[in-house]
Amino acid sequence: MRPVPSLLVSRPTILRRFLRQLALTAALLICGPAFIVGLISGAAQAMPIDPVQQHNSNALWFENWTGLSKATLVVAGPDGSVTRVFAEAGTPVFELGRGEVLDGVYRYELKAATEETVKIVNPIDNGRGESSNSRAKPFYMNGAFQVSRGVIIVPEDIREE
């Protein structure tokens, strides 16, 4: 008759295994959330920045805004008028005027700072203390939208046959 394997293990060995498993469980409970947060933030940093233009009848803004700050939206109207909208955090929102709105194509450019930093190759000593050796990497995007009868519309694809 062969002995049962569990009977061959001494009580101190069983206690050590239990304590080892208990220590591993405690480590996972304590460090697990920090590890998961690190994975999520690492994944967020690896994701490309790609704001998506959105609008309703009288406003233009951007979604998928993660990782951008200090944004300036410059909108040029069909008559050449220029409007600047600045947002320290969050997306800048351009709103059409309350009165008479000119129909036509409005062009915009969006500039913002990303969370990523880049090295300044030739720092300039401007006499204001220690010069910085890195700065936020800039983000730039441009586009256009159309206004018809005083509201922002989605332009239709017109094809000649």
Residue type at 94 in one-letter notation: F
**Sign of the C-alpha dihedral computed for residues 36, 41, 46 and 48 taken in this order:** positive
Of 105 and 37, which is predicted with more confidence?
105
pLDDT at residue 126 in the model = 67
Model confidence over 106-134: pLDDT tens digits?
Answer: 999 999 999 888 888 877 766 666 667 78
- Considering the chain, what is the average pLDDT of its residues? 79
Model confidence over 41-80: pLDDT tens digits?
Answer: 554 455 677 888 999 999 999 998 888 999 999 999 999 9
Q: Which of 28-42, 66-80, 139-153 has the lowest average pLDDT? A: 28-42
pLDDT at residue 105 in the model = 93
Sheet with 151-153, side-by-side order of all strands: 82-89, 68-76, 104-119, 134-148, 151-153
Of 68 and 156, which is predicted with more confidence?
68
pLDDT at residue 46 in the model = 52
Element (H, E) at 55: strand 52-55
Work out the pLDDT band at 9, boundaries 50, 70, 90: low
Residue type at 117 in one-letter notation: T
What tokens were used for 80?
């050449």
Cα–Cα distance for residue pair 60/95, rounded to 1 Å: 6
Contact partners, residue 73, CB within 8 Å, separation at least 6: 60, 84, 85, 86, 87, 92, 94, 108, 109, 110
Of 158, 18, 146, nearest to 78 by C-alpha is 146
pLDDT at residue 43 in the model = 46
